[in-house]
Amino acid sequence: MECQECKKRPATVHFTQVVNGDKKEMHLCEYCAQEMGYMDYHDHNFSFHHLLSGLFNFDSGASLSGNQKEAFHNASVTKCEKCGMTYQEFTRVGKFGCENCYKTFDQHLNPIFRRVHSGNTKHDGKIPKRVGGNLHLKRNLQQYRLQLQNLIEKEEFEEAAKMRDQIRELEKKLSNAEDGES
């Protein structure tokens, strides 16, 4: 395939550009992609497309067992109720349509995330102040409990007792907050 911009070099950069819901297939050579400024923003997606095609390359159906085929078929008709994106479309475009897609396709996501994020599947960063709700407290609580275990193992019982009090206080705070929420 030739580059759709210069029509000279072979197209090696492929992606879908979506503007206001209109999808446009882009096939460019690296030079033109660079020239048009795409490399700066789409570099990570290129590799992702390769990753996905590796994960979901079911074209060679012969290599799949009956169960796998069925699983794939079921997956492909899974549809997000909020935005209408099907799982099949997701694997083709490589993009989620809305936050609810994450819930809808949840059972298929861990292998994808592991592949893209070096084995990680769970968030360990910032929590938004409002939407994050009690997550801050919950995360602190987890940390305190770990510390408590450490202290007990090291037989530092005085410190452990203090930590236990802190945990109780935090638990109380959390249950109050959860009551307030409902």
Partner 1 sequence: MSLQQFINEAISPWLKEEAEDNDIVLSSRIRLARNFKEYPFPIVADEKTLEKVLDVFADHFAEHSLGKNANLELVRMSQLEPIEKRVLVEKHLISPSLAENQKTGAALISEDEQVSVMINEEDHIRIQLYQPGFQLEGALDYASKLDDWLEEKISYAFDENRGYLTSCPTNVGTGMRASVMMHLPALVITQQMNQIIPAINQLGLVVRGIYGEGSEALGNLFQISNQITLGKSEEDIVEDLKSVVKQLIEQERNARQRLMKNSAIQLEDKIFRSYGILANSRIIQSKEASKCLSDVRLGIDLGLIQNVSKTILNELMILTQPGFLQQYAKKGLTPEERDVKRATLIRERLNLEQE
Q: Does 30 contact Zn ion by CB under 5 A?
A: no
CA dist., res. 21 & res. 60, Å (int):
31
Nearest residue (CB) to Zn ion, 6 versus 127: 6
- Stretch 44-103 residues interacting with Zn ion (CB under 5 A): 80, 82-83, 85, 97-98, 100-101
Q: Tell me which of Zn ion, partner 1, none is bound by residue 6, counting a contact when its beta carbon lies within the kind-specific cut-off of 5 to 8 angstroms.
A: Zn ion
Dump the DSSP string for 98-128. Answer: SHHHHHHTHHHHHHHHHHHTTT--S--S---
Tokens of 153: 């193992």
Nearer to partner 1, 127 or 161 (CB): 127
Residues 96-115 as x/- pattern, contact with Zn ion by CB under 5 A: -xx-xx--------------
Q: CA–CA separation, 97 vs 83, rounded Å?
A: 6
Residue from 6, 18, 36, 177 that binds Zn ion (CB under 5 A)?
Answer: 6
Residue 23: phi and psi, rounded to 5, are -90, 135
Token pair of 83 as six digits: 């935005």
By CB under 5 A, residue 137 contacts Zn ion: no
Q: Is 9 in the site for Zn ion (CB under 5 A)?
A: yes
Helix (H) / strand (E) element for 144: namely helix 135-153
40 contact choice in partner 1, Zn ion, none (CB below 5 to 8 Å, kind-dependent): partner 1
CA dihedral (38, 25, 72, 86) positive or negative: positive
Binding residues for Zn ion, rule: CB under 5 A, are 3, 5-6, 9, 29, 32, 80, 82-83, 85, 97-98, 100-101
